[in-house]
């Protein structure tokens, strides 16, 4: 492996940069991290780096992998940048790569695989949106500094040349990384105008990396938030998804609301501000929802689950129906009757507009609709049939409903919180016991459709469906029964039904 050299470009910035030149060097630990990163991808750093150099073409590792190495974070990405145009990239990797794909070649990106590694090589470029376009216009360049200038943030505008290992940081990304601040290499107004999605990326990185936004970046994001309307819903959805799956999504959501970004992405969220919740009179619905999101994430982790997009969306959106259902009653009482039904509809509509997959839309809507169901449980007054219905209605969302319902308790009254926790412990134990006894998640009537037709002497039709639902309710009410008992109940029901 070649010796790894580290240097910072101390060339004075253009006037358009508006920042003084900063020379910063990696610490010994960071040097070791970069060396380890290059060593871990020896095939790319040596073979491909030498291949490009032999043909007088530049190649550098860039962006996320470099940033994450300096942060001591693992990264599975191998993003490379070069002065070679896409057709030249294809020529240089021909015979070396195990496989190549060109789905992103329109934007200067060639994807390839080599010995299990997946790489993306992108030509130095600049890209910009016209005022009404949803697609960027791409032009190619020959200078890595110009390529880094068009990157979203300085912490993503660092590179490592291959095969030499030279560290390239013309815009002070390392200093900003140490200060945990997000700045743009150029003016933020130019950056956000070129690609408005960077406004969402700013709040996403703040949540993902626990960074703050530089004042000028926050101001530009606030002033230009409406530019997000020209970005496709799919790209906005992808950034929102990454934000919600980050370690601290609350930070990103708060920034979205404070900077006016949410108005163009999730307008229902800021509308929850100051809408007093009847169960939590010292918290508005917005703050309550963020607390529920935090608590859902804590429970998600304590139960050993991976970050769960559906659960986190449901926690954030579970009370979005409250502003529309708020009513004032006597004694200064505020009510939100049926907000769960309205909220389920609103969440489905919003997530559909953001182009979330149908299963995600349906699951989140289902959880929002059910999130109040448990509050009728009291101190365990439900019968076994009511517990069965609760589990049956939750279906494959039962574990998520358990977490959401527990997280929805944000009262400061410790005695009340403890009582609610005990009650939910009780219902979970009962569901588990019933599930073991009856395989609750696969409850079926004691007679199937063919048996119903044979007993009643009828063919397929509405009557069979009604009989099936009758037997299912019977099963939920009384648990499993013998075939003979089920047949007797069915005949009795049919006699009464057919007489009508």
Q: Say yes or no to pLDDT of 135 above 80.
A: no
- Encode pLDDT of 63-100 as tens digits: 999 999 999 888 888 899 999 999 999 999 999 999 99
- Encode pLDDT of 218-251 as tens digits: 999 999 999 999 999 999 999 999 999 999 999 9
- Give the pairing type, strands 137-140 and 159-161: unpaired
How far is Cα of residue 54 from the mean position of the Cα atoms in its chain? 42
Angle value at C-alpha 131, between 125 and 134, nearest 5 degrees: 65
Better-scored residue on pLDDT, 330 or 42: 42
pLDDT band of residue 137 (cuts 50, 70, 90) is low
The per-residue pLDDT for 347 is: 97
Task: Give the count of beta carbons closer than 10 Å to the beta carbon of residue 205.
Answer: 24
What 3 state SS string does the chain have?
CCCCCECCCCCCCCCCCCCCCCCCCCCHHHHHHHHHHHHHCHHHHHHHHHHHHHCCCCEEEECHHHHHHHHCCCCCCCEEEECCCHHHHHHHHCCCCCEEECCCHHHCEEEEEECCEEEEEEECEEEECCCCCCCCEEEECCCHHHHHHCCCCHHHCCEEECCCCCEECCCCHHHHHHHCEECCCCCHHHHHHHCCHHHHHHHHHHHHHCCEECHHHHHHHHHHHHHHHHCCHHHHHHHHHHHHCCCCHHHHHHHHHHCCCHHHCCCCCHHHCCCEECCEEEEEHHHHHHHHHHHHHHHHHHCCCCCCHHHHHHHHHCCCCHHHHCEEEHHHEEECCCHHHHHHHHHHHHHHHCCCCHHHHHHHHHHHHHCCHHHHCCCCCCCHHHHHHHHHHHHHHHHHHHHHHHHCCCCCCHHHHHHHHHHHHHHHHHHHHHHHHHCHHHCCCCCCHHHHHHHHCCCCCHHHHHHHHHHHHHHHHHCCCCHHHHHHHHHHHHHHHHHC
Better-scored residue on pLDDT, 209 or 328: 209
User: Where along the chain do its domains lie?
Assistant: 1-176, 187-265, 281-442, 449-499
The per-residue pLDDT for 284 is: 82
Measured distance CA(188)–CA(151) in Å, rounded = 11
Q: Which of 115-119, 128-132, 271-275, 409-413 has the lowest average pLDDT?
A: 128-132
Strand-pair partners of 128: 137
Name residues whose C-beta falls within 8 Å of residue 256's C-beta, 6 or more positions apart in sequence. 203, 262, 265, 266, 269
- Encode pLDDT of 303-358 as tens digits: 999 999 999 999 999 999 998 888 777 667 777 878 999 999 999 999 999 999 99
What are the angstrom distances between the C-alpha of 95 and each of 89, 90, 92, 98, 110? 12, 10, 8, 8, 15
- Tokens 């969220």 appear where? 269
Q: Say yes or no to pLDDT of 386 above 50.
A: yes
The per-residue pLDDT for 433 is: 85
Name residues whose C-beta falls within 8 Å of residue 304's C-beta, 6 or more positions apart in sequence. none
The per-residue pLDDT for 282 is: 41
Measured distance CA(328)–CA(406) in Å, rounded = 27
- Encode pLDDT of 171-188 as tens digits: 999 999 999 999 999 999
- Encode pLDDT of 458-475 as tens digits: 888 888 888 888 888 888
The per-residue pLDDT for 45 is: 82
- Which value, in Å, is the radius of gyration of the alpha carbons in the chain? 29
Measured distance CA(213)–CA(228) in Å, rounded = 18
pLDDT averaged over every residue in the chain: 86
The per-residue pLDDT for 74 is: 81
Q: What is the mean pLDDT of residues 198-211?
A: 95
**What's the maximum distance between 2 C-alpha atoms anywhere in the chain?**
94
Q: Say yes or no to pLDDT of 439 above 70.
A: no
- Give the pairing type, strands 181-182 and 167-168: unpaired
In this structure, CATH architecture of domain 281-442: Orthogonal Bundle (1.10)
Task: Give the count of beta carbons closer than 10 Å to the beta carbon of residue 200.
Answer: 26
Angle between helices 398-407 and 384-394 (to 10 degrees): 100
Better-scored residue on pLDDT, 337 or 158: 158
Q: Say yes or no to pLDDT of 301 above 80.
A: yes
Q: Which of 147-151, 355-359, 436-440, 491-495 has the highest mean pLDDT?
A: 355-359
The per-residue pLDDT for 283 is: 53
CATH assignment of 1-176, among 2.60.120.10, 3.20.20.70, 3.30.460.10, 3.90.180.10? 3.30.460.10
The per-residue pLDDT for 130 is: 63
Can you name the CATH fold of 187-265? Hydrophobic Seed Protein (1.10.110)
Measured distance CA(138)–CA(108) in Å, rounded = 8
Measured distance CA(200)–CA(235) in Å, rounded = 10
The per-residue pLDDT for 461 is: 83
- Give the pairing type, strands 212-213 and 181-182: parallel
pLDDT band of residue 23 (cuts 50, 70, 90) is low
Q: Which of 32-46, 47-61, 431-445 has the lowest average pLDDT?
A: 431-445
Name residues whose C-beta falls within 8 Å of residue 378's C-beta, 6 or more positions apart in sequence. 423
């Amino acid at each position: 492996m070649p010796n790894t050299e580290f240097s910072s470009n101390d060339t004075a910035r253009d006037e358009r940069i508006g920042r003084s030149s900063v020379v910063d060097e990696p610490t010994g630990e960071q040097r070791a991290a970069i060396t380890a990163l290059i060593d871990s991808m020896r095939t790319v750093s040596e073979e491909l780096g030498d291949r490009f150099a032999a043909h007088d073409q530049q190649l550098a590792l860039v962006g996320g992998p470099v940033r994450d190495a300096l942060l001591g974070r693992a990264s599975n990405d191998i993003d490379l940048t070069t002065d070679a145009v896409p057709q030249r990239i294809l020529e240089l990797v021909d015979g070396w790569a195990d496989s190549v794909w060109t789905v992103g070649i329109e934007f200067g990106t060639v994807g390839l695989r080599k010995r299990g590694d997946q790489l993306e090589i992108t030509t130095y470029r600049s890209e910009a949106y016209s005022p009404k376009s949803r697609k960027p216009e791409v032009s190619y360049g020959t200078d890595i500094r110009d390529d880094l200038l068009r990157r979203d943030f300085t912490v993503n505008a660092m590179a490592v040349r291959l095969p030499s290992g030279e560290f390239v940081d013309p815009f002070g990304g390392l200093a900003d990384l140490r200060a945990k601040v997000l700045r743009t290499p150029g003016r933020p107004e130019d950056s956000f105008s070129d690609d408005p999605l960077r406004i969402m990326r700013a709040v996403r990185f703040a949540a993902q990396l626990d960074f703050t936004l530089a004042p000028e970046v926050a101001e530009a994001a606030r002033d230009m938030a409406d530019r997000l309307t020209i970005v496709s819903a799919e790209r906005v959805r992808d950034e929102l998804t990454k934000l919600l799956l980050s370690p601290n999504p609350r930070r990103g959501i708060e920034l979205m609301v404070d900077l006016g970004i949410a108005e163009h992405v999730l307008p229902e969220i800021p509308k929850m501000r100051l809408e007093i919740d009847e169960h939590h009179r010292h918290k508005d619905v917005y703050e309550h929802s963020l607390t529920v999101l935090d608590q859902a994430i804590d429970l998600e982790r304590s139960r050993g689950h991976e970050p769960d997009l559906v659960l986190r969306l449901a926690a954030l959106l579970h009370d979005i129906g409250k502003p529309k259902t708020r009513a004032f009653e006597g004694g200064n009482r505020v009510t939100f009757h049926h907000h769960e039904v309205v909220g389920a509809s609103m969440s489905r509509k919003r997530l559909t507009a953001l182009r979330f997959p149908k299963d995600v839309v349906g699951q989140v809507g289902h959880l929002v609709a059910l999130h109040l169901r448990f509050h009728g449980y009291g101190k365990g007054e439900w019968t076994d049939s009511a517990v069965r219905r609760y589990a049956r209605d939750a279906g494959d969302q039962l574990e998520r409903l358990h977490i959401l319902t527990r997280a929805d308790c944000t009262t400061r009254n410790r005695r009340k919180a403890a009582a609610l926790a005990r009650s939910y412990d009780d219902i979970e134990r009962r569901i588990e016991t019933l599930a073991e006894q009856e395989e609750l998640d696969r409850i079926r009537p004691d007679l199937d459709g063919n048996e119903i037709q044979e007993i009643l002497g009828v063919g397929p039709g509405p009557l069979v469906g009604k009989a099936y639902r009758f037997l299912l309710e019977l099963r939920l009410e009384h648990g499993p029964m013998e075939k003979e008992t089920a047949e007797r109940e069915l005949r009795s029901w049919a006699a009464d039904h057919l007489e009508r």
